[in-house]
Structure 1
Amino acid sequence: MTTSPNEPASRSTGLRALIDEPRFLVLLPGLFWAGNSIVARSIAGDVPPIGLAFWRWTAAALLILPLAWPHLRRDVPLMRQHWPIMLVLTALGIAIFNTLLYVAAQTTTALNLVMLQTTMPIVVVIASFFMFGQRVTRTQVAAIAISMTGALTLISHGDPAVLTQLQFKRGDLWMLAAVVSYAFYTTLLRLRPPVHGLSFAFASFAGGAALLLPFYIAETLLGRPMPVSMASVLAVAYVAFFASVLAYLAFNRLVELLGANTAGMAVHLVPVFGTILAVLLLGETLHAYHGVGVALIATGIWLATRRAPA
């Protein structure tokens, strides 16, 4: 779904038009990461966190390999030449972030997982400023503020007092660490080598699995082997294809098009799609605050992307 930064953007029809359209791309990470948080919480206690992360990235690498194969022969030497930043990006965005999220899901609620993720755009802005001196524009400040207000409206069910009553647990510290890790990944994506997006994704996924392998072996030897069950297979299938392959390709391309500060706002769509999934799959009822929250998030994202290249 993502292409090389040097690739021409002259084609504007069909799939290429979607690849170059940030208002479409911004929808995918939020949708699939909402499902990721729900899956992580629903299988907590049954599926070990490192095992889930390891098999997620192993399966994702295998899924994307056939598509990446035509580009790898050309791109592997360049990625090898830039191995330090490849290693840092793989560690932050692949191995660390998702493993910490799954560890957090063992001891905190899905609501807290979603709420803490909404802080990511702010952390991205801070990281971009301190690492690259990138100043946030007034439009970006307004967009992030409006969008985050909408996210908190959904999370609090329209009652700000709910946010003061949330009980934070040990898992929330793991989730905050995960947010910081992914914020730095987002910020540092500008330094990725100019290779095809499929090559970059495969190398990241395979590298993430390799980094997790010794920890997965240790987790297994310590008495938490990965179970072979319908629940574990379905969980790995979802997080590998939707939350990994599709979400990461879309998000990485979004960073190319909009920059880290604006692309980070995609996380505010997690509670939006979490609400939609709850209504469609769990039969929950829509309320007025749902409309207010979604409208605010939509306004913020529209404000941030309205001048983006199509």
Structure 2
Amino acid sequence: MRETAAGYGMALLATVIWSGNFVVARAVADMIPPWQCNFWRWLAAFLVCLPFAWRDLRRDMPLLRRHWRYVSFMALLGVSLMNTFFYKAGQSTPSLNMALIAPTAPVIILLLSRLVYGEPITPRRLAGMSVVMLGIVVLVSRGDWQRLAALRLAGGDLWSLGGALCFGLYSLFMRSRPAGLSTLGFSAATFGLGSLFCLPAVLAEMHALPPVIWQREVIVGVLYAGVGCSFVSFSLWTRAIGCIGPVRAGIVYYSLPVYAALAAWLILGERVNAAQIVGGLLIVGGIVTATLPARRPAA
């Protein structure tokens, strides 16, 4: 019972920390460009992770070299692209919208699992995905249906969906991780490679845009995202899954928009309108319907 309580506590703490990443994306959007923000975030995560992962990384090096294509692909999806898209979205959309769109990744995983692995989509899952799609429409339109008719979608919402798609692909192909490859070794390798893959875009930003002024808000935001969201939350989430399993931990993750909304209201002063509330409830309700396993009848 203590182990179960600890598992729920760690999953909840990881989700709360992750919710702050969307507030960071919004808060520093005008202070540091997205590629540079993502690069420094993951570089910080790599440097913090390396002392803990050094032994595993050395032991896993033959496997990493043998499967370098897979490791590079996962680093590109999960490190280089996913959070860059969310930081780009932060330039033009509220943090609450990003937090509401991000949990659509489980539905994306269901669709891709059907296409790639041939897994069936049950009527319950189809109903849940339909509700999620309706929630996205409500959220993106802000309750203004004429806006949808004119196809004037906010660019930030599309960038957020791109980030959710990257996370969905990353999660889908995580099941193909080579046997024997440790979690810490894989994490350190993807953190480092993903940071390297960002360098061309980072150098282009540095050449085309004014230099970043490293004021306190930027430093705190990058360190929070790198140490908190990338390293601490990852460690908590891994231990939580070991205690309560991925399904129950996933239920806790669906509460992310609630904490993101609270943080955005307290820190950024963002207002929450009725369309966001309705859209968020539809998205969360649809995800829960589509992803939770149906109860088996009692014998």
Q: What is the TM-score when the length of structure 1 is the normalising length?
A: 0.73
SS in 2 for 1:108: coil
**Cα drift, residue 132 of structure 1:** 1.2
Which amino acid in structure 1 is aligned with residue 292 of structure 2? A
Q: What is the root-mean-square deviation in Å for CA atoms of aligned residues?
A: 4.2
Report 1:1-310 matches (<5 A): 21=7, 23-24=8-9, 26-136=11-121, 162=143, 164=145, 168-194=153-179, 195-249=181-235, 257-258=245-246, 268-278=254-264, 300=288, 304=292
Structure-2 change in CA distance of 1:265 and 1:177 (3 Å): farther
Give how far 1:112 is off. 2.7
Q: 1:91 & 1:284 partners in 2: Cα distance?
A: 32
Task: Tell which deviates more after alignment, 40-49 or 51-60.
Answer: 40-49
**Equivalents in 2 of 1:98, 1:224: separation in Å?**
22
Opposite residue 162 of structure 1, the aligned amino acid is G
2:83–2:163 contact (8 Å) kept in structure 1: yes
Q: 1:265 to 1:214 in 2, by over 3 A?
A: farther
For the residue of structure 1 that corresponds to 2:143, the secondary structure is helix
* Alpha-carbon distance change, 143 to 46 in structure 1, aligned in 2, over 3 angstroms: same
Instruction: For residue 38 of structure 1, report the CA deviation from its aligned partner.
Output: 0.9
Letter in 1 for 2:120: R
For 1:168, the aligned partner's letter is L
For residues 68-98 of structure 1, give each alpha carbon's deviation from its aligned partner in whole angstroms, at most 9, with x where no partner exists.
1221221121122111111111111110111
The secondary structure found in structure 2 opposite 1:62 is helix
CA 1:120–1:267: 2 relative to 1, 3 Å: farther
Query: 1:137, 1:73 → 2: CA distance?
Result: 44
Deviation track 1:100-131 (CA, whole Å, cap 9, x = no partner) reads: 11112112222332232232221111011111
Contact 2:79 2:191 in 1 (8 A): yes
Partners in 1 of 2:259 and 2:156 — Cα distance? 23
Contact 2:57 2:189 in 1 (8 A): no
Q: 1:211 to 1:270 in 2, by over 3 A?
A: same
Instruction: Could you tell me which runs of 5 or more consecutive residues in structure 2 were left unpaired when the two chains were aligned.
Output: none
* Conserved? CA contact 1:144–1:265, under 8 Å: no
Shift of the 32–46 alpha-carbon distance from structure 1 to 2, 3 Å rule, reads: same
Aligned in 2, Cα 1:258/1:137: closer, same or farther, shift over 3 Å?
farther
Amino-acid identity (%) = 29
User: Contact between 1:100 and 1:175, CA under 8 Å: does it hold in 2?
Assistant: yes
Match of 2:175, SS state, is: helix
What's the counterpart of residue 6 of structure 1? none
Counterpart-to-counterpart distance in 2, 1:281 and 1:305? 36
1:103 and 1:171 in contact (8 A); partners too: yes
Unpaired runs of 5+ residues, structure 1, are 1-11
